[in-house]
Amino acid sequence: MAPGLFGYIVRRLLWAIPVLFAISFIVFVMIRAAPGDPVDTLLGHRYNEETAERLRQHYGYDQPIVQQYFTYMGNLLRGDLGISTRHTDFSAREVILPRVWVSTQLGIMALIIAFSIGIPTGIYAALARGTFLDPLTISFWLAIDAVPVFVAIPILQYLFVVQLGLFDLSWEGVWSTNIILPVAIMSLPGIAGIARFMRASIISVMTEDYVRTARAKGLRQRTIVVSHITRNAMLPMITVIGLSLPGVATGSLFVELFFGIPGIAREALQAILHPDYDVILFLVLFGSTMFVLANIAVDVAYGFIDPRVRVGQARGG
């Protein structure tokens, strides 16, 4: 690794520390300042002032907000995510982590399928520019993307579950055949956006001088497309892939609700409707942290992939 690039990575990681600190503090204050009281929600109809005061002292809710924040972050670094006021027999950690893992597995599958189809589709459409195949290809995926998820799910369930009997709606785990339909619903609508972005990137690269030079040298079309056009057109796609990663762990609300999947999107909705303060707090912090880290990962990936970035960082260093 070039010294300039290494220094750049270190600087980006160091800048992430104050950013994450500011985000975490703002989110913490907003959640703690929200209407309601975790202790009131925890006790419910069993509420009495003496018990409530004892619980506030036990969980530190009677402390100044800044002290509460540092206590919470210290516990968070040790793996303690707080309490769940909805699932009183479980901690927030026991509620959140299994559901995040379920949603993450589904999200990874959907992301792989979406990009595996979307990127080749965009390349094909760009190479077919000027023929009817270009608009036909993109229009097909745009038509799929135009159907709202909450409309598509009942139709597909009726077709594949009720009429054809290929799947059922029981939850048997991530690796059962019943997961094919939910993953397809999560992945297929995103193909249109990926294909259009890749098509635009390919068309932009096709006008570059080095592509014309490669053609003038008599290189085969396949070599030009793979080595010169697609390779350079993939650079902007790194940003799209990187910024899609935080959404992997957030789940899909309608898919989880309609298919009875115990994912984190469904749990987040329930946590908001029946205030589960520590669950909401961690999910917001988790999402913010994932987004910041994804931006850093994209910058670092550019440094490794694009020689111009490596040279620029070396000179800057």
Predicted confidence (pLDDT) per residue in 260-277, tens digit: 999 999 889 888 888 888
Last residue of a domain, one of 273, 293, 308: 273
**Mean pLDDT calculated for residue range 210-218:** 85
- Whether 173 and 126 share a structural domain: yes
Q: What pLDDT is attached to residue 154?
A: 93
Average pLDDT in the chain = 85
- pTM: predicted TM-score of the whole model, two decimal places: 0.83
Whether 307 has a pLDDT exceeding 60, the answer reads no
Range of the domain at 133: 97-273
pLDDT tens-digit map of 65-104:
898 899 888 888 888 888 888 887 888 899 999 999 999 9
Residues 23-75: tens digit of each pLDDT: 889 888 888 877 777 777 777 777 777 787 888 787 778 888 898 899 888 88
Q: What is the pLDDT of residue 288?
A: 86
CA torsion 178-182-185-191 (nearest 10°) is: -90
According to the model, what pLDDT value does residue 132 have? 92
Last residue of a domain, one of 256, 273, 290: 273
Give the pLDDT confidence score for residue 200 in this predicted structure.
92
Evaluate if residue 164 carries a pLDDT over 60.
Answer: yes
pLDDT at 242: 86
pLDDT attached to residue 160: 92
Domain containing residue 129: CATH number: 1.10.3720.10
Do 129 and 211 lie in one domain? The reply is yes
Tell me, yes or no, whether 246 and 127 share the same domain.
Answer: yes
| pLDDT tens digits, 105-125 | 999 999 999 999 999 999 999
